[in-house]
Structure 1
């Protein structure tokens, strides 16, 4: 074995899962009281900041990694620059395989890397892809500037105690701020906190909280309604208003998907003056209209026969038929569900999670359907919103279709001079561009250009959002 191989072997031995692990590796400063001389080699240490990229078919996607040690186990947190406010993923364990490689999970699959301890680089592959995805990371200095600060908070909202996290910039306040509002479901604060870290690095504070019955919050997601969602948002706004490090004149809301219903309901009933609103794929139609639009698009995509599509839409009608006897509605729903299971539309369209679902277990459970608990039309509340509003829609979104929602939103906000509606091309409900091989046609006489395009959040979403927040939250100071 040559000296280079011996160096790598010694470094990898430090990564074995024994007490001390990487944390036990002494630094050069610990070995010597003075500056190291020219012959001193600083011991390899996996912990710290790494920068690099995923590479596929010649295309790169930048990624950074921060390695720490917890309970004698190295853990890596990865951040993909192009996914911006998704933020750093939660740290995952780093393990060593029998062949001496390090492995850890990434968004594209399991990374398997070799360690160059001499030059402090990690080189390997990710997942099982064709063409392959490679990863290359280099040990580097940490980014300049302190990290955003986080503070856990508890607040009352009606009959429930909710728990959340306030994220603030490292600079002294008072800061502009917003409440992050997730969409349909029983969401904990984690995703919101990651987005708020992205905002805090740009000078804006924020609050994300666990929905009722989720995480540390009291209550039940199964019984939440449009009214309780609205109340919880208003309570969260008050939390920010009461903080000395927040500028009460610059507090807004940033919502996703179904938050497009929750936010207008909350804004027009809030005792806190909301300074600005940013909505990502938030419906401007009623809940019932959105469900019918979504069902129709799914039926078309599936190529359902007209009679089958009619049964699917009939099921939607029954979801909202609160004026009919539950026993009769439930019996008809069961027949339609059997049809939906046989033709496939039930799995494509219906949510079966009992907490947020569309399928009742009993006739009495009809009133607990998500559609009935959240039945709401935001039109009148949207007309009253006179603060700056920015609304995004995905041109290819089937859940909140742009061709229905964008024109209606423009009409409802027609009297608001500070409202803007943006349709982001080539995007669906997540406003992201999917991964795929791209072919660019070139002028005659040249070969076409082919390249692999990684998934990313659409620049046509991020750019306008940043400019909007700079103008109306930071007020030009960002």
Structure 2
């Protein structure tokens, strides 16, 4: 065998071994201590596909359950795999997880519609799944779910919702929108003139929303976002008055874990925390705020770099999150009264 041929074979073998090693790392890092079952759940007039994830190595159950409530946008049951580290953390505490695809017509929903959908999911799990402990069902919800979670607590059938984990949630839709706009302008280095102009445009849009203007009227207005679709305008028109104050005040003594990122540009975590402390029953609220974390509760430096985000999601998905986030939720669940 010639030296050249030996060199080619060695390079080829090294490449194969490296590829096999990387594949092994990816498979190992994306394997979770949960059993996933595809389910279909009747909810708010839809039959929604979803995933029921149960703990591995903890017996047949029945397991307490975390029902997930998505934030804004089109989201499948796994959130493209983003939820699996959460499910594993819940499973380590002995909890199952239930997450559904959003319906195709989610832009036609109100926050009340989303609450009905979640209540139906809870009822389905309690009535039809023997591996679920119907007396220990709670909620996990992100961002826009902040206007859904307290409605579900009020409406869920007996024995009711037993806990809530709220992730990056707001209280008032319109105040949240102003905070988001100002935060994005600051991040972009906008001067006072540009900021004032953006706020004037926002007030003009709010005036249209408050008088029930059509999409055509919005499109004809100065400063209209040309990328905003008619469906999205309809969704905003239906929900821009959302405010969780009354629903939070009416919540019973349910333990709540409030999580937020210090770098959140979408939601003012300090305002939400202050409102929750005022509105919820004394002794029910636990708060965790993570430095270097975004609205999505991802590490900010990773989320804002497309290549780092991709590589981390593939090779080390659990490290997408700030230190302590998964463990804090596991501990919260473990310490709930049984």
Q: Same fold (TM over 0.5)?
A: yes
Q: 1:429 corresponds to which residue?
A: 295
Q: Distance in 1 between matches of 2:219 and 2:22?
A: 61
Q: 1:106-255 residue pairs with structure 2 within 5 A?
A: 147-170=33-56, 171-191=59-79, 194=84, 195-213=86-104, 220-242=105-127, 243-255=129-141
SS, match of residue 427 in structure 1 = coil
Q: 1:394-409 residue pairs with structure 2 within 5 A?
A: 394-409=261-276
Q: Distance in 2 between matches of 1:457 and 1:319?
A: 35
Q: Distance in 1 between matches of 2:40 and 2:206?
A: 35
1:468 CA displacement: 0.4
Q: 1:319-398 residue pairs with structure 2 within 5 A?
A: 319=206, 321-324=208-211, 326=213, 330=217, 334-337=221-224, 352=228, 355=231, 357=232, 366=233, 368-370=234-236, 372-373=238-239, 375-385=241-251, 386-398=253-265
Q: Distance in 2 between matches of 1:11 and 1:196?
A: 38
Q: Is the 8 A contact 2:150 2:244 kept in 1?
A: yes
SS, match of residue 221 in structure 2 = helix
CA RMSD of aligned residues (A): 3.6
Give the number of the structure with larger relative contact order, counting CA–CA contacts within 8 Å between residues 6 or more apart: 2
Name the larger-Rg structure: 1
Q: Distance in 2 between matches of 1:457 and 1:373?
A: 30
Describe the superposition over 1:160-191 as per-residue Cα deviations: whole angstroms up to 9, x where unpaired: 22121111113210111111122101111122
Query: How high is the TM-score relative to the length of structure 2?
Result: 0.78
1:277 CA displacement: 0.6
Distance 1:323 1:288, change over 3 A: closer
Instruction: Give 1 or 2: higher helix fraction.
Output: 2
Q: 2:169 corresponds to which residue?
A: 282
Q: Distance in 2 between matches of 1:227 and 1:207?
A: 20
**2:145 matched to 1:259?**
yes
Instruction: Give 1 or 2: higher strand fraction.
Output: 1
SS, match of residue 74 in structure 2 = coil
Distance 1:308 1:6, change over 3 A: closer
Q: Distance in 2 between matches of 1:223 and 1:326?
A: 17
Matched pairs, number: 312
Q: Distance in 1 between matches of 2:219 and 2:11?
A: 68
